[in-house]
A and B are shown apart, each in its own frame.
Chain A
Amino acid sequence: MSGFLVFEDVAKHYGPIKAVDGCSLEVARGEFYSLLGPSGCGKTTLLRMVAGFEQPDRGRILLDGKDLSDLPPNRRKVNTIFQNYALFPHLTVYENIAFGLRVARRPAAEVRAEVDRMLALIQMEDQAHKRPDQISGGQKQRVAIARALINKPQVLLLDEPLAALDLKLRQRMLIELDLIHDEVGITFLYVTHDQGEAMSLSDHIAVMNAGKIEQIGTPTEIYEAPRTSFVAAFIGDTNFFEGTVRETLDGDYVRLAVEGLPDLVCFNDKRIPPGGRVYLSVRPEKLRITREPPTPDPRRNAIETTVEDVVYLGSHTRYWARIGEYRLAVQQQHSRYLLDEKPIVWKERAWVSWHADDGFMLEQYRESDEALMSLPPAEDAGEAAAKPEKRVW
């Protein structure tokens, strides 16, 4: 990975608040890179430092090998798509797109040709003379993209560009953004709190929390191999188990002693020795729920549980199954086979099972991260809050 846009130990404080607390990352030329995290995690501050609207207190940002620190925003070869688009209300679509070229005093003929090319790219030739308040949200979005791209930036910065759109439009713009990225080949730095957007668009994702980078990786790495409980819980849902290595099994597996559960088998990629403490994350869709006990398999975990909640969601069903202090989230896809069966219902006894390879050991665990996951239906959430318990589902 060649570092085209490089952050070196960048930090920014607002009084006592550490907005960005020592972030280092490298974005390769031409890639779609996402900064993903909850609001207030510092991702927008990081983006604004690239744009030049904020200055880092520490560290530096390099673009194509050159330090950006002393350049004002207007002299940086980066352009931003703002969350609210920030289109100039007194200018037409055409004039908005032409703004960058007119600032640069480019010849009128060139401006016209370039703006026409951009209007064609965003398919808005017939809307050129409308004002921003006369076009729809999706169109504003596209004008903002055209206005930024016409300056041929080295990096396009996108600050939650889809947040203001409704779901349907968001899905369509997602595809359009992807197409535009493929077409122009410019490096995209994309800030979002929506894991779905980040997953579907990005080559790489940096997951941020409280000013720090929790993990950098491809969408698959982030989802399948989360390093911390924050990443596991923020991106999708998961089940956490806390245990101690009882013994090493043949090959790369270990047997874990977990309080209140039968021993669990899991893949030991972290080479934890016996006696070591382990936090395990297992994604809900990796779990199978069946009425009958599954066929015994030394590489499979099977736990008998009581079903507490069943939520039918069309393409899949979500179950919450309890065993002792643990409430397990299970997500089961539907197939003909399952639909023909008598469905598992509330209060039934059922077996939850998963393969040892589907559990992933975390390097770092914080109990507070469990609050990030989707809650079971309200009545149980209330019950859980009233009765303090170790909320590991």
Chain B
Amino acid sequence: MTAPSFVWLTVFFALPTLLIFAIALKPADPLGGIGEGWTLDTLRTLSNPNYPAIVARTLRLSAATTALCLLLATPAGYHIARASARWRQILLLLMIVPFWTSFLIRVFAWKVLLHPEGPVKRLLLALGLASPDSLLLYNEGAVLLVMVYTYLPFAILPIYAAAEKFDFRLLEAARDLGARGFYAFIHVFLPGIRRALWTAVLMVFIPALGSYVIPDLLGGPTSEMIGNKIAQRAFADRNLPHASALSALLTLGVLAPMIWVLFLQRRRDRRPAAAEAAP
């Protein structure tokens, strides 16, 4: 690692993280500040009986978001890479354009769309796909939908970048050897872009774990995620150590899969070819 990026990472990533870990070990101050001395009390409060359900929901929603994003982004990235230069530019532009609008406004836009009087509901009603008293908002489904919407570009971009460098003659070779198109896609294309798939997993799963605005605005009381709890502890309860403890939990939850993926990739790269003896 070069010196400037090391300094950058230390100042803006390592130090704040350590600070959060440290604050988690401090007592809370009734005025909303941080008390003197060290304590493990805050960590004990993490055994709050509400938390396991929230953590499970956070993991479940993030995993589902990641899976759906990959499922949509892989064919999307493939087709963008195979499109003519003109179409490729248009498609990439269409993907970037929403970023020119504030994230918050886009989430509110979804709220309008999914509103009981909104266009989506009316369309579904007209098609007979929804009953008049069904609710599209304030549930896990709405949260999942908008999370997929939000994180999809972060999955498409690395997959597209890898697909663009992929040698599509390999797919022809697979077809030539008797493989149907789908078999070639699964057995030749996906292994060819597997690094990008892992990148996409990290790019979606990690920010998804920390989601807070989406469940806050579109979720109901039963679709809270850990991000909502952190915000609640910090802003409503003014209990910074407690918020820090939750944040530390989340950070560890993010770092663990990341380190695991890096480890897997490294082992794959270093594994001598002979170890993969075919028969």
Interface residues of A (CB under 8 A from B): 51-53, 72-75, 78-80, 82, 84, 86-90, 92, 94-95, 98-100, 103-104, 108, 112, 128-131, 134, 147-148, 151
Specify which chain A residues have a CB less than 8 angstroms from the CB of B170 in the assembled complex: 86, 88-89
A86–B191 CB distance below 8 A: no
CB closest residue in chain A, given B194: A90
> Counting CB contacts under 8 A, is B180 at the interface?
yes
A/B interface sample: 18 pairs, CB < 8 A = A51-B176, A74-B179, A75-B178, A80-B172, A80-B173, A86-B169, A87-B173, A88-B191, A92-B276, A94-B278, A94-B279, A100-B177, A103-B174, A108-B279, A128-B278, A129-B277, A148-B177, A151-B177
Selected from B172, B178, B179, B274, the residue in CB contact (under 8 A) with A82 is B172
A103–B278 CB distance below 8 A: no
Encoded as 1 (CB less than 8 Å from any A CB) or 0, chain B from 249 to 279 comes to 0000000000000000000000001101111
The CA of A82 and the CA of B173, in the complex, are separated in Å by 8
B279–A112 CB distance below 8 A: yes
Selected from A88, A104, A147, the residue in CB contact (under 8 A) with B188 is A88
CB closest residue in chain A, given B169: A86
The CA of A103 and the CA of B179, in the complex, are separated in Å by 6
> Counting CB contacts under 8 A, is B183 at the interface?
yes
The CA of A98 and the CA of B179, in the complex, are separated in Å by 12
Main secondary structure of the interface of B (DSSP, over half): helix
B192–A89 CB distance below 8 A: yes
Specify which chain A residues have a CB less than 8 angstroms from the CB of B175 in the assembled complex: 52-53, 72-74
A80–B176 CB distance below 8 A: yes
> Counting CB contacts under 8 A, is B41 at the interface?
no
> Counting CB contacts under 8 A, is B29 at the interface?
no
Specify which chain B residues have a CB less than 8 angstroms from the CB of A79 in the assembled complex: 176-177
Specify which chain A residues have a CB less than 8 angstroms from the CB of B169 in the assembled complex: 82, 84, 86
> Counting CB contacts under 8 A, is B237 at the interface?
no
The CA of A52 and the CA of B178, in the complex, are separated in Å by 11
Give the 8 A-B CB pairs with smallest separation, nearest first: A86-B173, A94-B278, A100-B177, A90-B191, A73-B175, A103-B178, A103-B179, A86-B169
Encoded as 1 (CB less than 8 Å from any A CB) or 0, chain B from 144 to 186 comes to 0000000000000000000000010110111111111001000
The CA of A130 and the CA of B179, in the complex, are separated in Å by 23
A53–B172 CB distance below 8 A: yes
Specify which chain B residues have a CB less than 8 angstroms from the CB of A129 in the assembled complex: 273-274, 276-278
Specify which chain B residues have a CB less than 8 angstroms from the CB of A80 in the assembled complex: 172-173, 176
Known A74-B178, A94-B279; judge A88-B173 contact (CB<8 A).
Answer: yes
A104–B173 CB distance below 8 A: no
Specify which chain A residues have a CB less than 8 angstroms from the CB of B191 in the assembled complex: 88, 90
Selected from B177, B273, B277, the residue in CB contact (under 8 A) with A99 is B177
A100–B178 CB distance below 8 A: yes
The CA of A94 and the CA of B277, in the complex, are separated in Å by 9
B167–A74 CB distance below 8 A: no
Specify which chain B residues have a CB less than 8 angstroms from the CB of A89 in the assembled complex: 170, 192
Given contacts A94-B278, A100-B177, A151-B177, 9 further A-B pairs with CB under 8 A are A73-B176, A82-B169, A84-B167, A89-B170, A89-B192, A92-B273, A94-B277, A94-B279, A100-B178
The CA of A52 and the CA of B179, in the complex, are separated in Å by 13
Specify which chain B residues have a CB less than 8 angstroms from the CB of A74 in the assembled complex: 175-180
Q: Nearest Cβ distance between residue B272 and chain A, in whole angstroms?
A: 9
Q: Nearest Cβ distance between residue B279 and chain A, in whole angstroms?
A: 6
Specify which chain A residues have a CB less than 8 angstroms from the CB of B273 in the assembled complex: 92, 129-131, 134
The CA of A271 and the CA of B188, in the complex, are separated in Å by 60
Specify which chain B residues have a CB less than 8 angstroms from the CB of A147 in the assembled complex: 177
